[in-house]
Amino acid sequence: MATNRTFTMIKPDAVRNGHIGAILEQINAGGFKIVAMKYTKLSAEKAGEFYAVHAERPFYGELVEFMSSGPIVAAILEKDNAVADFRTLIGATNPADAAEGTIRKRFATSIGENAVHGSDSDENAAIEGSFHFAGTDVFA
């Protein structure tokens, strides 16, 4: 995957709270093009695998349980400087610290249930995109 891409998930809390449409609108308004997208649900096993990097953290069990608690929207987004610009658009991990107008400030409820995921590097964007999508499901 090219380095002008990032990977996102609209997390189970935001789906449950009816924010899919508003979040996708903000993603588009932010200049991101959706090149792959699906509505799906992670098994606990898949969620554990996706967040394996956090396996030793105290919140890992809670995170896996939450991420497999309901459906999500997974998507690959394209834009110049996609990874950094998307992290700016979503705001800080803890919505209490997130800048005004960011997706997490608007839609997240807590540090654990924080509405969206955004890849933290080009390398992880590529890994996470391929975790969810086959190359044939990506339309640039």
- Show binding-site residues for ATP: 11, 59, 87, 93, 104, 114
114 binds, options Mg ion, ligand RTP, none, Cβ within 5 to 8 A by partner type: ligand RTP
132 binds, options ligand RTP, Mg ion, none, Cβ within 5 to 8 A by partner type: none
Among 5, 106, 117, 132, binds ligand RTP (CB under 6 A): 117
CB 104 within 8 A of CB 86: no
Residue 12 makes contact with ligand RTP by CB under 6 A: no
3-state secondary structure the chain: CCCCEEEEEECHHHHHCCCHHHHHHHHHHCCCEEEEEEEECCCHHHHHHHCHHHCCCCCHHHHHHHHCCCCEEEEEEECCCHHHHHHHHHCCCCHHHCCCCCHHHHHCCCCCCCCEEECCCHHHHHHHHHHHCCHHHCCC
Kindly write out the interface string for residues 51-70 of this chain, putting x where it contacts ligand RTP by CB under 6 A and - elsewhere.
---x----x---x-------
Is there a catalytic annotation at residue 132?
Answer: no
When CB distances to ligand RTP are compared, the closest residue is 93
- Applying CB under 6 A, the site for ligand RTP has a residue count of 10
State how far the Cα of 8 lies from the Cα of 119, in Å rounded to an integer. 7
Range in contact with Mg ion (rule: CB under 5 A) among 44-52, 77-85, 99-107, 119-127: 119-127
- Binding site residues, ligand RTP, CB under 6 A: 54, 59, 63, 93, 111-112, 114, 117-118, 120
